[in-house]
Structure 1
Amino acid sequence: MSDTILVLNAGSSSIKFQLFGLEPSGRLARQLKGQVEGVGGQNPRLVVADASDRPVFQEACPPARTADLEAAQELLGSWLVGHLGAVPVAVGHRVVHGGPDFAMPMLVDDALIERLAKFAPLAPLHQPNNLAPIRSIRARRPDLPQVACFDTAFHRGHPEIADRFAIPDSLHQEGVRRYGFHGLSYEYVASRLPEMAPAMAAGRVVALHLGSGCSACALVDGRSVDSTMGFTALDGLPMGTRPGQLDPGVVLYLMQKGQDADAIQHLLYHDCGLKGLSGISNDVRELLTSGQPGAGLALDYFAYRTGQAIAALGASMGGIDGIVFTAGIGENSAPMREKIATRCAWLGLVLDPERNATHGPRITGPASRIPAFVIPTDEEQMIARHTLATLQATKGQPG
């Protein structure tokens, strides 16, 4: 068995993983992928497939062994060691918030964990869960290298004017600023563009990460120069259960009505977005097949705000040379791509219906003034690359 790198992406009720082998050529080859799902529930399962999605292992797990993310990580680790016969040479983690200081992946130590824990209030759905398996592995195998890869890092090169709020400088110095998220996804998309669309890659691109969480990013020559997400992962585009752009006066209004911070946080992270607008669901697939007026309103609103964001990022870049759709909705929902493209007709964007229906990769026709592509994202591949590069920069590690 070759040396391997394990990539973990811990969510609220699951731990997704992928395992990459280190080939003699230095290439990373995906070997396994899967998840422990239903963490904290009554019917948890471990599901594993190979790189071609063929089932490798599937089994119900004792709820006591998956009561929380740390326990689930231990169960997953035991299965992997038993399956592989060896411990991975390193573990790479997605960490949503790296704050103002971290512009590159970092080798984990105790001090880093404590610094990252301070950002939990800025990403309450993500940061504590991202850190849970890091703490668990650190406690049980302190000699196993772990690398934290930040969703904010790709955006750290923004011009200052793009990351400022119109607030006193003292608050900016405290770290109240625009950070941007989904950076690992955008970094992967930027790495694929030169081979898929070289002329477009060297220009001004709006990349749309549209999934349960949504954002848009302005890329100039493959570098992020602006993003719709800000201080937290609530800002910008409407999402599955998050509102996106919101007048802060709404929060003051809710406070004046007597709601406390916990209630408002729950509302903004769990009950808004497509779910709140439609009154039905946060799932685009369900809304597209619903005949309820709320479903149509939610989808039209989503496309309307996404179109506005594309225009705004075009203003940041001084023009738009192409658009990329990625993530769950962006990669798989031809109707939503069509709705958004209709909002971009003023750019001369013309979809090719057949290409759009088959998900591209290029989904515009010859009459389109600018191209649009569908590029499946691969955050785990990006994390594995960063983990390997960090190991190679550390004396005595493989690679």
Structure 2
Amino acid sequence: MSALLALNAGSSSIKFALFDLADTPLAMPPLWQGQVSGLHGPQPRYQDGLADHPLPVDQASAIQSALQHILAQLPRHLGTRALAGVVHRVVHGGDRHVAPTRLDRSTLAALRSLIPLAPLHQPHALEAIEHCQGMLPDTPQLACFDTAFHHTLPEVEQLLPLPSELRLQGIRRYGFHGLSYQYLAQVLPQRHGDTAQGRLLCAHLGSGASLCAMQAGQSVATTMGFSALDGLMMGSRSGSMDPGVLLHLLDTAHYSPAQLADLLYRRSGLLGMSGLSADTRVLLQQEADHPGARQALALYVRRIVRECGALVAVMGGLDMLAFTAGVGERSAEIRRRICEGLAWLGISLDDNANKAHAPLISSPDSRIKVVVEPTQEEWMAATAARALL
């Protein structure tokens, strides 16, 4: 008997899940799952099915501290099972990595070279991998990539309007949140039938946010491109930005590249506009009395609606709209506002189903099915890693 540990090390959290490899398909729910959240904040927390408590960490090595605590709990959940491997979610795989892979020295070097393309996420995943290699030297380490699902993008969707020699340097559109979209592509047809195999628009709305247009379960267009900054407005990220603004800041305000990165990744989006919070729950509570919160939410929804329209045009219509990730799964009000902006498509919500976060939230007379599906990135990574093992 053996098990597989899936780790998802993000910019402020580490999610984990342990799966029994004897199960076909992999057990859902897993044997054990949880997260360490608020890693770089004043009070990180450890949560799993049995525990929920503050977790003191060394801020100089927060990821290592959190992993040490997670791995210390592992033996009692493994029981008599052997640990067959650890699979890591890695945001960027570049051109080369379009399938799950075993991690060795040369692969890690290649992934390290991609840090400039995903500076908010890639370093954390690599730090987690290297720490696990040190603590579990005899256990295979594997990676699944968020960019991999989008390798089916048509060439025209990969291109950027820049000189062709830059494409040879890897400057192109990649797409992200691939594990989440791959999970939806696999599960939604089981839940909702053939409609999900048609023209499907998925909205992954969390602290990071993107849309993906799928046909026959494959990615045909997406809002994130070269980096995880592109597309929708997000919690603290700007999303698509007129490059003239950046040239202006470089020229007249003398921003350094590091200052620009900090502005676009950490001080923009809902947080920057509102001056209050990156959390839609906080902004919804405050919007009646806080003009910044009201403006931020209005632009957030507007950008989603506008990009939905663009992807519907690319597909030539729409059969199903799916919401996932933190905001998409749990904010009935944000879903309502988005669907109200897309009413021209024939979308009509069942208010009670929406408020209950039901799997199907569209009304019977809606021309488009609207569904809510909690994402399972760790399960998706474990499923792919199991096949590789």
Smaller-chain TM-score bracket: over 0.9
2:92 to 91, 97, 105: 97
Q: CA deviation at 1:60?
A: 5.2
Q: 1:43 to 1:376 in 2, by over 3 A?
A: closer
Structure-2 separation of matches of 1:258 and 1:66:
30
Residue of structure 2 in register with 1:331 after alignment: 329
- What is the match of residue 114 of structure 1? 109
Show the counterpart of 1:319.
317
Aligned-residue CA RMSD (Å):
1.9
**Contact persistence 2:40–2:59 (CA under 8 A):** no
Q: Tell me, in whole angstroms, the C-alpha distance in 1 between the residues paired with 2:63 and 2:316.
A: 45
Distance verdict in 2 for CA 1:125–1:362, change over 3 Å: same
C-alpha contact 1:97 1:127 (8 A) present in aligned 2 = yes
> 1:319, CA displacement in angstroms?
1.4
Specify the SS of the correspondent of 1:219: strand
Q: CA deviation at 1:25?
A: 4.4
Q: Find the counterpart in structure 1 of residue 5 from structure 2.
A: 6
Give matches, 1:181-330, under 5 Å.
181-256=176-251, 257-290=253-286, 291=288, 292-330=290-328
Q: CA deviation at 1:13?
A: 3.8
Could you state the TM-score of these two structures normalised by the residue count of structure 1? 0.91
Aligned to 2:14: 15
Question: Structure 1 unaligned runs (5+)?
Answer: 50-54, 392-399
2:204 partner amino acid:
H
Cα distance change on mapping 1:63 and 1:299 into 2, 3 Å: closer
- 1:59 and 1:339 map into 2 onto residues whose CA distance is 35
TM-score of the superposition, structure 2-length normalised?
0.94
1:170 to 155, 165, 170: 165
**Partner amino acid, structure 2, of 1:318:** G
Cα distance in structure 1, aligned partners of 2:318 and 2:182: 18
2:338 & 2:52 partners in 1: Cα distance? 38
Percentage of pairs with the same residue: 45
Map 1:54-69 → 2, pairs under 5 A: 55=50, 57-58=51-52, 61=55, 63-64=57-58, 67-69=61-63
Q: How many residues align?
A: 384
Alpha-carbon distance in 1 for matches of 2:109, 2:355: 47
Q: Would you say the 8 A contact 1:7–1:383 is kept in 2?
A: yes
Give the equivalent residue in structure 1 for 2:383: 385
Q: 2:68 aligns with which of 71, 74, 78?
A: 74
- In structure 1, what is the equivalent of residue 27 of structure 2? 28
Q: Return the alpha-carbon distance in structure 1 between the equivalents of residues 86 and 142 of structure 2.
A: 6
Query: Offset at 1:132?
Result: 0.7
> 2:173 touches 2:224 (CA, 8 Å); kept in 1?
yes
Note closer, same or farther for the CA distance 1:36–1:368 as it changes in structure 2 (3 Å cut).
Answer: closer
Distance 1:357 1:40 in 2: 33
CA distance in 1, matches of 2:282, 2:244: 32
Query: C-alpha offsets along residues 297-341 of structure 1, whole Å, 9 cap, x if unaligned?
Result: 111111111111111111211211111111111111111111101
1:92/1:387 contact within 8 Å kept: yes
Determine helix, strand or coil for the equivalent of 2:226: coil
CA offset at residue 26 of structure 1? 5.2
- Displacement of 1:141: 3.2
AA paired with 1:341?
C
- Residues 162 and 272 from structure 1, CA distance in 2 versus in 1: closer, same or farther, beyond 3 angstroms? same
Which digits, 9 at most, give the CA deviation of each residue in 1:214-247, with x for residues without a partner? 0000000111111000100001000001111111
Greater shift in the superposed pair: 142-151 or 231-240: 142-151
CA distance in 2, matches of 1:59, 1:369: 46
SS of match in other structure, 1:149: strand
